[in-house]
Amino acid sequence: MTKNKPLAVVILAAGKGTRMNSKKPKVMHALLGLPMINWLLSSVEQLSPERIVVVVGKGMHDLVAAVKPHETVVQQTQDGTGSALKAGMSALDGFEGDILVLLGDTPLISVATMQGLIASRYQGDVTGISVLGVCLDNPTGYGRLLLNDDETLKAIREDKDATLEEKRGNIVNTGAFCLDASRTVGWLEGLGNSNAQGEYYITDLPEIAAREGVKTRVSLAINAAEVVGCNTRIDLSNLEQTAQHKMRENFMMAGVVMQDPSSVYLHHDTKIASGVILEPNVYFGADVEVGENVHIKAFCHFEGAKISKNSIIGPFARLRPGSDIGEEVRIGNFVEIKKSSIGDRSKISHLGYVGDCTMGEDVNFSCGAITVNYDGFDKYQTVIGKGVMVGSNVNLVAPLTLDDGAFIAAGSTITTDVPADALSVERSKAEVRSGWAALYRKRKEDIIKNKSDVS
């Protein structure tokens, strides 16, 4: 049988961050800079469901904002997954079709795995539920999926309640279900809370359905990593590594070279073109785009930056938000760029700071030069034209304009605009006092000797 019914998705996301020692809702903790709930929503949206309902807890305003435009329902009393699903179903009154139930703290589940879970509900005419399971080498602590001889589900047994024989099974529950919408409300009414926690669990639904002669099928996830949940900061760190690893692999398959992939850290929205070379220890923050054949050397840090093709960046370079690097640009070691555009073929090779600047093409910005863009109250712009030569250890005090072809002598502090092709020098007149250094040292030596004689 094939799927031919509408789909609604209910995401259970009301969990607090208690075990994380956090005041944020659990699903608002981020992977690669994006809240867990948004990772899951991104995958769910690819199923094109008719409805997506997210069950939240009271006062979780940030979570409500994060999942918009999708609908949210508040679980007034946090007393189990069954209670949460009841809250979600209240928004789906009259819906006919499949209900896909997912846990918000299992963010990396793939579209293919969800599709398999939905399809498994159509393996027989009396299949009303499908449950997503996974085989683990070490299932200790997880609820076991107990199967009948025909491989339908008999029951879900929590680890602490399982017999020794049941604990030998290695097919565990992931928490994802696909349910027949027309029966789900009735099944939920049959849930009880006669357990140690006094809570209502959706894991009891298969046994309730079986009393009506309705079977539950098991769909197995092939990749255990994608159905790992998150309860602690340690779990979150492990999920981060899984997501980082997958994203690195995707980039490398698309033609990006990573000399030490494990040392490259990506953001969920990082864009890297084919032919880029990434040396070790490179960090990408939010909103970074790297063009073709860029070479990024070791120990660079990027946020809010665009790097155009064939440029060389680093080592030890930092591009802050608003950095727009042109083609064939050279940004060298210990250079910081902030809120500035750098024209094609310009060079800032070492030990420089460029902030709030528009720099033209073919500029040479020498060692130790900086734009002085802040007076303690406001930021000011520096405009540097094409082909300008800025010498070493130059201070460009904004607001300032250097026209095309201007030449700024080393060691100058420039406070007035420089016209095209002009030389600007601002230095004190050198003064040489012959023999001064020798007399100074002799005087110091005499003072030290006199002190020693007195003591």
- Encoded tokens for 178: 């696909």
Q: What dihedral angle (degrees, nearest 10) is formed by the CA atoms of 259, 260, 266, 270?
A: 10
How big is the chain by its Cα radius of gyration, in Å? 32
Sequence-ordered list of residues with C-beta below 8 angstroms from that of 208, at least 6 positions apart, any chain: 187, 190, 191
Write down the residue that tokens 């910081």 correspond to. 336
- Among the listed residues 70, 267, 301, 350, the single catalytic one is 350
d(CA 111, CA 179): 17
Pairing of strands 357-359, 370-372: unpaired
Please count the other Cβ atoms lying within 10 Å of the Cβ belonging to residue 379. 13
Q: How many CA atoms lie within 13 A of 47 on its CB side?
A: 28
Written as one string, the DSSP assignment of 143-180 is: PEEEE-TTS-EEEEE-GGG--HHHHT--EEEEEEEEEE
Ramachandran assignment for 33, one of left (phi > 0), alpha (psi -120 to 50 degrees), beta (any other): left
Paired residues of 130 in beta bridges: 178, 217
Is it true that the peptide bond before 321 is cis, omega within 30 degrees of 0?
Answer: no
- Encoded tokens for 1: 């049988």
Contact criterion met (CB below 8 Å) for 180 and 95: no
Is it true that the peptide bond before 261 is cis, omega within 30 degrees of 0?
Answer: no
Catalytic site includes residue 350: yes
Pairing of strands 153-157, 144-147: antiparallel
Which of 371, 295, 315, 368 shows the shortest CA–CA distance to 340? 371
3-class DSSP assignment, residue 74 = strand
- Cα 4 to chain centroid distance, Å, stands at 36
d(CA 122, CA 441): 95
Sequence-ordered list of residues with C-beta below 8 angstroms from that of 355, at least 6 positions apart, any chain: 336, 337, 338, 339, 340, 371, 373, 374, 379
- Which residues are known catalytic residues? 350
